Structure 1
Amino acid sequence: MAQEHNSGLNPSTRIGMLNTVINHEKVSSYRETAWPPRSYSSMAEILGNEAGLAIYRRFATLNAQNLLYLQSELINLEAELKKLVLDDSSSDDEQRRVFQSDIGALKSAPADATAGKQWRKILEIRVKLKEYNDALLQHSHLYQLPEANSHDLRVLREWYGDPDLGALFLPLPEGNAWNEEMTKDLVALSVRKTDGDVFTRWITEKIMPKYHQKIGYKLRKTTANGIYDYRDSKFNSTANTISIILSSLIPPASIFALYYVNHTPVRLGLIMIFSAILAACLAIFTAARRVEIFAATVALASVQVVFIGTNNGGSTVP
């Protein structure tokens, strides 16, 4: 069994992708029966089995530098090809002069002769161009990967720095891969399976860690890797339920308020207030686009204006 550690870190506060929380006692004992702690294997098991913790360097600077090198090589090759084209087109050799309009003659020129230089250069450029295009597209795809979630990254850093688990086992500079200064260069291979609205993110990143620290860890069991797993689908359901309830209450609430108000300026003020409330709810509880929020608020305001136009006086309670 692993010895008890005194890292001072509270496992119940560690929330990451899918709201995972590392349980150190179970992880430590589990590691001794599977992979040795403080090793590539133990770390690979964590990164491989917990999708949200699959966080790696993008190496943006190195990739950009590589692209610059390839680009420079191609620029020089392009200049060399232009010179060869001019030399062939102005040559006294009739066979070389037709290279610009006869691909067959260009390809059939003796490879070891002066006439074959242009085609050899084209083949050289073709290889380098493919390498450059592949690197360019790969670099573009790297920038489409999501940035590492701050909570997932915190879990990984705490695992790596824990005496019983990672314990900073990688030698420098390898061990700097997840340091604070590398944060902007880190990407996640998986994203949270949430609707992406503000409310759901607030629940998963702020409320759930506190809930788990106080109650959740007593009610849930860990996975084989010693991870508490809270599925994002449940947070989506909660956010969807709240948004549906609010969307059904705001329009009738606005009409109800307008019905009991007779003063026109106050009514117009209420239209503005309820439109702002609807817009705020859509922005917080849904992932609606700006144009969709604008359309919804306009529709609500239109309904309220129509109501005012058809109901000039409020009702009084007997």
Structure 2
Amino acid sequence: MESTENPNGGCSAEDVGYAKLAHQMVKTPEAGIFRKFKLLHVLNALRLQAELVSLEHELQDVLQEDLESDDPIRREYGTCFSRMREYVDDGDSTQYELLEDIRVKLVQYNEALSQLMTLGKATAPLDHDLDFLQKWLDRPEMGAGFLKGIESKTWKDANRGDFLTIQPPSAEIDGFQRFLNGTLTATYHAIIGRHGKDGKRDKYRKYQEEKIARIGRGIVAALSAILPTVVILALYFVKDMIHRIGLVIVFTTLFAVTLALFTGAKKVEIFSATAAFAAVEVVYIGSTSTA
């Protein structure tokens, strides 16, 4: 007769292994720590993207074949979807079947991107980041040009307006940050940065965006402290009321433009902050004006 002794010493299933761990995570939610599998999410999105690139190229070939076909009905496929559906059962509507395959693959791809977006926020890539990726893919000691065939065109300039990137939740991408990461960084690299410590030039150098972001935050913090105090100082030395009002207009406009360029503030936030700034100026003028 076989023994029915519990190998776990009489413990219940809830006191062993993953079940026990799950109970502990329920008791202490802060210990409920899970992996994001970011690499696997990215690999899955890359696979689906490659398949869509191939399907897109195949669709272009089929569109051209239908357009140049001797069959007048096939020539109508590019202008009449209902005509394609009529002939799909006869096996003479490759374009329609291909569009169906693309539809299914797009759903999967968009779902993969949505999962990636839970790890950050989607935004248009900075020009210098795209340039770096293109150079990385071509550089022998890095990407080594591993992309072949139609997939090699995935990140080419022809698709420049069709890209997105997933930024970390803490990343702040506004007009000023794009300027720092783009034009200013490119200028710095062209003049100074490409000359390495060993004297060699490195045209592929990638700068740490977190450091650039800290510099940007420092500049914005300095401006937020300097601008209001400079306004008060200027109004203090100007006694003529007309000149004071003129300065209020100039400084208020400068403040609004600075908000728009140096921060990611929304339009309503810019209006609110500008109105508050103007109110402070008016109160100061009223409190220091002489009869």
TM-superposed deviation, 1:259: 2.4
Report what 1:273 is aligned to: 250
Secondary structure of the structure 2 residue equivalent to 1:278: helix
- 1:249 equivalent in alignment to 2:226: yes
Q: Which has the larger radius of gyration?
A: 1
Deviation at 1:209, TM superposition (A): 2.5
Partner SS, residue 288 of structure 1? coil
Q: Larger relative CO (CA 8 A, sep 6+): 1 or 2?
A: 1
- Distance in 2 of aligned mates of 1:276 and 1:158: 42
Taking structure 2 as the reference length, the TM-score comes to: 0.52
Pair 1:152–1:242, CA change in 2 (3 A): closer
Query: Which residue does the alignment assign to 1:198?
Result: 175
| CA separation of 1:170 and 1:293: change in aligned 2, threshold 3 A | closer
Question: Does residue 138 in structure 1 map to residue 115 in structure 2?
Answer: no
Distance 1:162 1:137 in 2: 30
Q: Which residue, out of 184, 189, 208, partners 1:231? A: 208
Q: Which amino acid aligns with 2:189?
A: H
Residues 240, 285 of structure 1: 8 Å contact kept: no
Q: Secondary structure of the residue that 2:172 maps to in structure 1?
A: coil
Query: Displacement of 1:250 after TM fit?
Result: 1.9
Structure 2 residue runs without a partner (length 5+): 1-38, 60-80, 86-103
Query: Which runs of 5 or more structure 1 residues have no equivalent in the other structure?
Result: 1-47, 66-71, 77-130
Among 198, 206, 212, which residue is 2:189 paired with? 212
> SS of the counterpart of 2:265?
coil
Give the one of 112, 133, 146 matched to 1:156: 133
- Please say if 1:176 is aligned against 2:153: yes
CA RMSD of aligned residues (A): 4.3
- Partner SS for 1:280: helix
Q: CA deviation at 1:288?
A: 2.1
Match of 1:285 among 262, 265, 269: 262
Deviations 1:88-140 (A, max 9, x none): xxxxxxxxxxxxxxxxxxxxxxxxxxxxxxxxxxxxxxxxxxx89x6597288
The offset of 1:228, in angstroms, is 4.1
Shift of residue 279 of structure 1?
1.4
Question: Relative to 1, partners in 2 of residues 1:135 and 1:178: Cα closer, same or farther, differing over 3 Å?
Answer: closer
d(CA) in 2 for partners of 1:137, 1:167: 29
Q: Alignment length, in residue pairs? A: 195
Within 1, Cα distance between the matches of 2:46 and 2:251?
43
TM-score (norm 1): 0.48
Change (3 A) 1:290 1:179: same
The CA distance in 1 between the partners of 2:174 and 2:274, in whole Å, is: 18
Query: Partners in 2 of 1:296 and 1:174 — Cα distance?
Result: 48
Percent of aligned pairs with the same amino acid: 29
Judge conservation of contact 1:192–1:232 (CA < 8 Å) in 2: no
Aligned partner of residue 164 in structure 2, secondary structure: strand
Q: Aligned-pair distance for 1:254?
A: 1.7
Q: In 1, distance between residues paired with 2:134 and 2:110?
A: 31
Q: Which amino acid aligns with 1:158?
A: K
